[in-house]
């Protein structure tokens, strides 16, 4: 009897456990209570996240900037400039900018002068650039680096028409680019701009015209007399592409 009782008790326990396991398979949990691989952040102020902190529509901004000609082989690659923009709305703006080129030669061209007496100061050099500018800003966002504040930012594309002035002549030019503004306040921003310029320009590599004779090197190292300085109008021209990186500070008012 005792063995029969134990056997029945064991079978009863097994039956109950199997029933509980089967019941557990049928438990339904609401979707919002299930664990997920990623969750949306919870902000203290949802309105400040959704709303645009910096409004530019119908306002002007003035900026100063410094630039670097990344693909210029001969002339000094640095430049400075001013710009003024009017924002038609939050996405479109029109403006004008003026850039002044630094004088002198690039590091490589100065090396050619020091080592081989090839003076590219004899060739025409760019002096300034004036452009009418259009910007389209399709992206506006916010980011927080320190978690103590929010920085507003816009990404834009640009197109420009204008003139590049050389010592003896001005050439029509076009430029396209992309850039980004980082607003530290509702008015003050840092602007980073990358553009490609295209225009006709003098070819500085005129054979038999660059040697100044300072090292006794002319005519292939044979003659000692400097070559005559060529007329600026004697240089041939070709379509030239130049990539420029500009970084500046703008004030919205």
Helix (H) or strand (E) holding 114: helix 107-116
Q: Judge whether 170 and 163 are in contact, CB under 8 Å.
A: yes
Question: Has residue 181 been placed in a domain?
Answer: yes
Say how far apart CA 202 and CA 139 lie, in whole Å.
Answer: 39
- Block residue for tokens 């529509």: 57
Pairing type for strands 126-143 and 151-166 reads antiparallel
Question: Has residue 188 been placed in a domain?
Answer: yes
Given pLDDT bands bounded at 50, 70 and 90, which one contains residue 149? Answer: confident
pLDDT in tens, 185-194: 999 999 999 9
pLDDT in tens, 172-187: 999 999 999 999 999 9
Question: Has residue 248 been placed in a domain?
Answer: yes
Mapping DSSP to helix (H, G, I), strand (E, B) and coil, where does residue 74 land? coil
pLDDT at residue 23 tops 50 = no
Question: Has residue 2 been placed in a domain?
Answer: no
Q: What is the CATH number of the domain that holds 163?
A: 2.40.160.20
Question: Has residue 47 been placed in a domain?
Answer: no
Pairing type for strands 170-183 and 60-69 reads unpaired
Structural domain for 117, as ranges: 57-252
Question: Has residue 7 been placed in a domain?
Answer: no
The structural domain count of the chain equals 1
CA angle 201, 127, 111 (to 5 degrees): 80
Given pLDDT bands bounded at 50, 70 and 90, which one contains residue 24? Answer: very low
DSSP string of 21-34, one letter each residue: HHHHHT----GGGS
Say how far apart CA 56 and CA 186 lie, in whole Å.
Answer: 9
Cα→Cα distances 93→81, 96, 224, Å: 19, 10, 58
Q: Judge whether 137 and 189 are in contact, CB under 8 Å.
A: no
* Token pair listed for 51: 């709303």
Please give the share of the chain, as a percent, with pLDDT higher than 90: 57
pLDDT in tens, 197-229: 999 999 988 877 888 777 766 655 555 567 788
Question: Has residue 39 been placed in a domain?
Answer: no
Question: Has residue 138 been placed in a domain?
Answer: yes
pLDDT in tens, 40-80: 555 555 554 467 789 999 999 999 999 999 999 899 999 99
């Amino acid at each position: 009897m005792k063995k029969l009782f134990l056997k029945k008790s064991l079978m009863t326990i097994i039956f109950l456990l199997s029933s509980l396991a089967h019941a557990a398979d049928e438990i339904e949990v609401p979707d919002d209570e299930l664990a997920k691989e990623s969750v949306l952040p919870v902000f203290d102020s949802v309105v400040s996240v959704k709303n645009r902190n910096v409004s530019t529509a119908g306002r002007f901004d003035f900026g100063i900037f410094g630039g670097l000609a990344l693909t210029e082989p001969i002339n000094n690659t640095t430049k400075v400039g001013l710009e003024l923009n009017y924002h038609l709305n939050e996405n479109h703006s029109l403006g004008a900018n003026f850039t002044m080129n630094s004088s002198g030669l690039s590091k490589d061209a100065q090396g050619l002068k020091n080592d081989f007496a090839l003076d590219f100061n004899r060739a025409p050099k760019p002096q300034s650039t004036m452009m009418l500018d259009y910007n389209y800003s399709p992206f506006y966002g916010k980011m927080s680096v320190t978690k103590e504040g929010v920085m507003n930012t816009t990404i834009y594309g640009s197109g420009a028409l204008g003139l590049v002035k050389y010592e003896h002549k001005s050439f029509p030019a076009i430029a396209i680019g992309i850039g980004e503004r980082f607003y530290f306040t509702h008015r003050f921003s840092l602007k980073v701009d990358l553009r490609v310029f295209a225009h006709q320009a003098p070819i500085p590599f005129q054979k038999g015209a660059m040697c100044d004779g300072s090292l006794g090197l002319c005519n292939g190292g044979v003659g000692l007399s400097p070559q005559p300085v060529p007329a600026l109008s004697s240089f041939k021209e070709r379509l030239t592409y130049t990539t420029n990186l500009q970084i500046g500070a703008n004030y919205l008012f």
